[in-house]
C-alpha cells in the first residue's frame, strides 16, 4: 500500500501566524506570533492528508524579510527537495513580499518535488481567518501529482499560481492576489490543474552555484513618476549600488532628463534594467544609451532579483530570464 505523502512544513512568520487583541481586528495585529506547531494545531485535519514534519526557519513580518533570508530558506528547501524521505515542501510566509521570495526560490531551486507557498490576509485570531484553509489547500496541492514539477507554486484563496506569474494586487481584501500574465495555474481545493507550466524557466541558476553565494549584491528599484529627479540615480551610483531597475512609465519609456544620469551610471559599471511601473504587459527591446536591459515580461521586483543573481554569479546569461518581447 502506498504511503501517505510526507510533507515538510517550513514556517517563516507573516499574517498567517499573526494574532490580534480582537477577533474583528484584521489590520492592527502582530505578524509572526505563532510558530509552526501552533499553525498545524489549528488544522488537525492535515494529519489525515499527509505525514507532516514542521520546522521554523524564522518568524518575521514579511516586510522585514531580506535577501539573506532568501538564501537561508533556499538552502534549506533544496536540502529537503533532495531528501528521499520527503515528498513535498509547504512554506508559510507573509503576503507583503511573498512574490519576491517565491520568485527567488523559483530561480534557484532544482528538482521536481512540489514546493508550495501559502499565506493569509487575516491573522489567525480573526473572524473567518483564511490561514487555516490556505494551509490545508497548500498541503493538498503539494500532494497532488498534477502539480509536481520544477518551479515554485503559491496556493492562496482557493487558487494555485506559479511564481513567475504572481503578484499581490490589493492591500487588505482576502482575494488580494493575481496572475498578470496568464491567470492562475489551477484550483486548490480539490486540486485541479487548468493550464500548463510556468511562464518563465525554473532553476536558471546552475546546480551547486547557490552554495557559493554568501550575499547578494546591492540592487535597487527606482519608481519613476512624472518629473522624477534623475539625481536619485546619481545618489545611488555615488553610494556604490551594483545595479538599478528603473520602473518606468509605459513600455519602459526613459524620460529624456534621465539620459545623462543613465550614461553616468553606465560609465561607472552600474547595471541597469528597463522595467515598467504598469502591472500588465511586457517591456519591449529598443535602442537605449548604455547597457539598458529590457525587463521583458518580468516585473520590476522580479527583474531586481534576476539582476542580483546575475551580478552574484557573473553570469549575464541569467538576464535572458528577462527576455524582451519583440519591439
Taking Cα atoms as reference points, which of 211, 272, 278 lies closest to residue 250? 278
- Alpha-carbon span 245 to 247, nearest angstrom: 6
Question: How does pLDDT run across 7-29, given as a tens digit for each residue?
Answer: 999 999 999 999 999 998 888 89
Residue 199 lies in a domain: no
Q: Which DSSP symbol is given to 190?
A: T
Buried b (16+ CB within 10 A) or exposed e, 143-174: bbeebeebbbbbbbbebbbbbbbbbbeeeeeb
**Known active-site residue 27:** no
Residues belonging to the chain: 327
Q: What is the CATH number of the domain that holds 272?
A: 3.40.50.40
pLDDT at residue number 25: 86
Question: Cβ distance 122 to 129 under 8 Å?
Answer: yes
- Alpha-carbon span 44 to 204, nearest angstrom: 37
Q: Where are the alpha helices (DSSP H) in the chain?
A: 36-41, 46-49, 67-81, 98-108, 131-143, 231-239, 259-267, 300-313
Q: Where are the alpha helices (DSSP H) in 147-215?
A: none
Domain final position from 136, 159, 193: 193
pLDDT at residue number 109: 96
Rounded to an integer, the average pLDDT of 265-290 is: 87
pLDDT at residue number 319: 86
pLDDT over 70 percentage in the chain: 96
Q: pTM for this structure?
A: 0.95
Query: Domain tally for the chain?
Result: 2
Query: Pick the residue with more confidence: 319 or 257?
Result: 257
pLDDT at residue number 1: 41
Residue 327 lies in a domain: no
Alpha carbon 216 to its chain's center: 16
Residue 209 lies in a domain: no
Parent domain of 318 = 217-322
Alpha carbon 48 to its chain's center: 29
Domain final position from 138, 159, 193: 193
- The mean of the pLDDT values for the chain is 93
Does 325 have pLDDT greater than 60? no
Residue 202 lies in a domain: no
Domain final position from 141, 161, 193: 193
Does 290 have pLDDT greater than 90? no
pLDDT at residue number 286: 74
Question: Cβ distance 33 to 78 under 8 Å?
Answer: no
Residues 64 and 182 in one domain: yes
Q: What is the CATH number of the domain that holds 124?
A: 3.40.50.1170
Residues 92 and 170 in one domain: yes
Residues 11 and 54 in one domain: yes
Residues 137 and 223 in one domain: no
Residues 157 and 234 in one domain: no
- Alpha-carbon span 325 to 285, nearest angstrom: 7
Question: How does pLDDT run across 40-88, given as a tens digit for each residue?
Answer: 999 999 999 999 999 999 999 999 999 999 999 999 999 999 999 999 9
Residue 249 lies in a domain: yes
Residues 230 and 99 in one domain: no
Set 15, 92, 97, 125: catalytic member: 15
Residues 185 and 241 in one domain: no
Residue with grid cell 537605449, as numbered in its chain: 288
Question: How does pLDDT run across 189-216, given as a tens digit for each residue?
Answer: 899 999 887 768 888 988 989 999 999 9
Residues 164 and 300 in one domain: no
Q: Which residues contact 160 (CB under 8 A, 6 or more apart)?
A: 116, 141, 147, 153, 154, 184, 185, 186, 187, 188, 191, 193
Around 83, how many Cα atoms within 13 Å sit in the side-chain half-sphere?
Answer: 16
* Burial classification of residue 283, based on how many CB atoms lie within 10 Å of its CB (0-12 exposed, 13-18 middle, 19 or more buried): buried
Residues 152 and 223 in one domain: no
Amino acid at each position: 500500500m502506498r504511503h501517505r505523502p510526507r510533507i515538510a512544513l517550513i514556517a517563516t512568520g507573516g499574517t498567517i501566524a499573526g494574532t490580534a487583541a480582537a477577533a474583528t481586528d484584521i489590520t492592527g495585529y502582530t505578524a509572526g506570533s505563532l510558530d509552526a506547531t501552533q499553525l498545524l494545531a489549528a488544522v488537525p485535519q492535515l494529519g489525515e492528508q499527509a505525514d507532516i514534519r514542521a520546522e521554523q526557519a524564522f518568524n518575521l513580518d514579511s516586510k522585514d524579510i531580506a535577501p539573506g533570508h532568501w538564501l537561508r530558506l533556499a538552502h534549506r528547501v533544496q536540502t529537503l527537495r533532495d531528501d528521499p524521505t520527503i515528498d513535498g515542501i509547504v512554506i508559510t510566509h507573509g503576503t507583503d513580499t511573498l512574490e519576491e521570495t517565491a520568485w527567488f526560490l523559483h530561480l534557484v531551486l532544482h528538482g521536481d518535488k512540489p514546493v508550495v507557498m501559502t499565506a493569509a490576509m487575516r491573522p489567525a485570531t480573526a473572524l473567518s481567518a483564511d490561514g487555516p484553509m490556505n494551509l490545508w489547500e497548500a498541503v493538498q496541492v503539494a500532494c497532488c501529482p498534477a502539480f509536481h514539477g520544477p518551479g515554485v507554486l503559491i496556493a492562496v484563496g482557493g487558487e494555485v499560481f506559479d511564481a513567475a506569474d504572481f503578484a499581490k494586487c490589493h492591500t487588505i481584501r482576502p482575494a488580494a492576489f493575481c496572475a498578470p500574465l496568464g491567470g492562475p495555474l489551477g484550483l486548490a481545493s480539490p486540486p485541479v490543474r487548468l493550464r500548463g507550466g510556468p511562464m518563465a524557466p525554473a532553476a536558471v541558476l546552475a546546480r551547486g552555484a547557490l552554495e557559493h553565494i554568501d550575499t547578494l549584491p546591492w540592487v535597487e528599484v527606482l519608481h519613476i513618476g512624472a518629473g522624477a529627479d534623475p539625481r536619485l540615480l546619481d545618489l545611488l551610483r555615488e553610494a556604490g549600488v551594483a545595479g538599478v531597475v528603473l520602473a518606468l512609465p509605459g513600455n519602459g519609456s526613459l524620460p529624456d532628463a534621465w539620459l545623462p544620469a543613465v550614461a553616468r551610471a553606465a560609465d561607472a559599471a552600474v547595471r541597469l534594467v528597463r522595467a515598467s511601473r504598469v502591472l500588465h504587459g511586457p517591456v519591449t527591446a529598443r535602442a537605449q544609451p548604455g547597457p539598458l536591459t529590457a525587463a521583458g515580461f518580468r516585473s520590476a521586483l522580479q527583474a531586481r532579483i534576476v539582476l542580483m543573481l546575475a551580478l552574484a554569479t557573473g553570469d549575464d546569461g541569467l538576464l535572458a530570464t528577462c527576455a524582451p518581447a519583440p519591439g
